[in-house]
Amino acid sequence: MFTSTGRLTDFICGSAAANDIWSPRATVQAMLDIEAALARVLAAHGVIPASVVEAIVAACRAEHIDADALMTGAAAGGNLAIPLVKQLTAVVKANDAEAAKYVHWGATSQDIIDTGVVLQLRAALDALDADLRALSDALAQQAARHRATPMIGRTWLQQALPITLGLKFAQWLDALTRHRARLAELRSRALVLQFGGAAGTLASLRDRALPVAQSLANDLGLQLPALPWHTQRDRIAEAASFFGMLTGTLGKIARDISLMMQTEVGEVAEPAAAGKGGSSTMPHKRNPVGCAAVLTAATRAPNLVATIFAGMVQEHERALGGWQAEWEALPDLARLTAGALANIGGIVPGMEVNTERLARNLGATQGLILGEAVMLALGDAIGRLEAHKLVEGASKASVANGTTLYDALAANETVTSHLSPERLRALLDPANYVGQAQAFVDAAIANSQQLE
Mean pLDDT (whole number) for 432-446: 97
Confidence of residue 277 (pLDDT cuts 50, 70, 90): low
Whether residue 196 contacts residue 228, with contact meaning beta carbons closer than 8 Å, is answered with yes
Record: fold of 368-427: Ribonucleotide Reductase Protein R1; domain 1 (1.10.40)
Summarize pLDDT for 222-231 with one digit per residue, the tens: 999 999 999 9
Cβ contact 395:370 at 8 Å: no
When the candidates are 1.20.200.10, 3.40.718.10, 1.25.40.10, 1.10.10.60, the CATH number that belongs to 110-148+157-197+226-361 is: 1.20.200.10
* Stretch 260-273: mean pLDDT: 93
Instruction: Quote the pLDDT of residue 79.
Output: 94
For the CA atoms of 151, 175, 372, 356, the dihedral, rounded to the nearest 10 degrees, stands at 0
What pLDDT shows up at residue 15?
A: 87
pLDDT average, residue stretch 225-248: 98
Tens digits of per-residue pLDDT, 47-74?
999 999 999 999 999 999 999 999 999 9
Is 178 one of the annotated active-site residues of the chain?
no
pLDDT band at residue 11, thresholds of 50, 70 and 90?
confident
Report how far Cα 105 is from the mean position of its chain's Cα atoms: 38
- Set 25, 145, 279, 384: catalytic member: 279
Above 60 in pLDDT, residue 284?
A: no
pLDDT in tens, 119-166: 999 999 999 999 999 999 999 999 999 999 999 999 999 999 999 999
3-state secondary structure the chain: CCCCCCCCCCCCCCCHHHHHHCCHHHHHHHHHHHHHHHHHHHHHCCCCCHHHHHHHHHHCCHHHCCHHHHHHHHHHHCCCHHHHHHHHHHHHHHHCHHHHCCCCCCCCHHHHHHHHHHHHHHHHHHHHHHHHHHHHHHHHHHHHHCCCCEEEEEECCEEEEEEEHHHHHHHHHHHHHHHHHHHHHHHHHHCECCCCCCCCCCHHHHHHHHHHHHHHHHHHCCECCCCCCCCCCHHHHHHHHHHHHHHHHHHHHHHHHHHHCCCCCCCEECCCCCCCCCCCCCCCCCCCHHHHHHHHHHHHHHHHHHHHHHCCCCCCCCCCCHHHHHHHHHHHHHHHHHHHHHHHHHHCCCCEECHHHHHHHHCCCCCHHHHHHHHHHHHHHHCHHHHHHHHHHHHHHHHHHCCCHHHHHHCCHHHHHHCCHHHHHHHCCHHHCCCCHHHHHHHHHHHHHCCC
pLDDT of residue 417: 94
Q: Stretch 282-306: mean pLDDT, rounded? A: 88
Cα separation, 162 vs 259, in Å, equals 17
**Burial (0-12, 13-18, 19+ Cβ within 10 Å), 450:** exposed
* Structural domain spans, the chain: 110-148+157-197+226-361, 368-427
Domains 110-148+157-197+226-361 and 368-427 share a fold: no
For residue 414, is pLDDT > 70? yes
Task: Yes or no: say if 452 and 178 are a contact pair by the CB < 8 Å rule.
Answer: no
Instruction: Report pLDDT for 308.
Output: 98
Its pTM stands at 0.93
CA angle 429, 435, 440 (to 5 degrees): 135
Average pLDDT of the chain, as a whole number: 94
Question: 452 falls in which pLDDT band (50, 70, 90)?
Answer: confident
Which residue of the set 154, 208, 318, 357 is catalytic? 318
Q: In the annotation, is 61 catalytic?
A: no
Give yes or no for residue 290 having a pLDDT over 70: yes
Model confidence at 7, pLDDT cuts 50, 70, 90, reads: confident
